[in-house]
Chains A and B, each alone.
Chain A
């Protein structure tokens, strides 16, 4: 299996190279004027000679392969360029923002997967009865709800009306503490750092700011897992070995938990992996509504403004996450399903 992982990892730089070339070429189809939008966001600044000066200053009119080589050369020197959207070196900006995305992912993935699986199992066990129908409607509504609508509802109810889940990362008082020199930044994730610093009040505050996004994401993403679990469970429950287990006189609890559910979880693992990777790539809408400073809102802005250094840096980063994420999912099969051998 180690050999398998190593082989997969060897492909990583190749894949990233391919992706970067593809994206860069696509950017290359845009005219220098379009790409100038990164540098000038206001028509008042479009004095004739300024525009051409800026284009040559940033080399936007060079042939695309020269621009690509220039970018590649800098990447090998560890310089991903300057992000005009993030107002800093691309690498720094990504590192600064990723912990926020990771934190939200960690906290949302737990309810999404556990609630999704358990509700899915419950649904399957009550096949075509009231509980099943109710859960299915619940899931379909969540799945078809656009996240911006649900996010706004959460914001209106739980913040405007009740004052529970404020947007942003922290309250003003907590931010003052976090930015003071006594507060040590270890993971970059506010909740974990607060615990490591022994500041329960700040942990509480950071978590309170996370709850709105978690709640929104859980409801919107949960349905997917729920439905896969349900159908997979239904299928497994028809299998001969489940009937055999029952015929052996095993208790229903053992049949469900040990024989049926474990086998039903194989497709769920794939889907969960995708969900995690998707969440890690940032959730634009939720981050925007709740004013979280993660990667999603950053990449959306970068794409809108054609900030190519940010786009390229983000692409590499997401490519990396996607490849590693899929690798983890593949490896996890070996543990869940003994029939799978990775070679």
Chain B
């Protein structure tokens, strides 16, 4: 019963929330806070009762090669995140947290884990730019770029809202993208665990050994 309530809250949050690169709103009534409260109760992870299907994304990797997400990550524990390299705050922190946590895994499990960063700013994030940026975090991380509408649809299928970077009336840049990390099981290939931007390096270090087995954290 309790678990069901959590899952419902998480799904609501996932479906409606438009977190930016740089944080959540302060409104205590927002769905964002529902997830925050669960995290505050000691767990960064939200296990979903109804897992997401892995998005059917065929994009371009950092070597300029075609990358079929479903095919390439089939049977592998997989973490998917949508962000962009010109993001100063949450994107590098989230990817660095995962990178540091990953190093605590045995070598074989590190190699088996697929961490996929999908850019929400394909105009600036060319395969070369993405590759350079990810190399600075973890050379094993996979970076994908391509058509924005395709990426947006893929994100939307995971309940993650992304918008093209735009300019407001003062000519200042406005960026909107969800900051959730979705973990996909190596057993079912379903996206069954969700992390918000509050997840720390300790949270990932604690949970990755479970996630690589497809177990609940």
Are A and B genuine complex partners?
Answer: no
Interface of A with B (CB < 8 Å)?
none
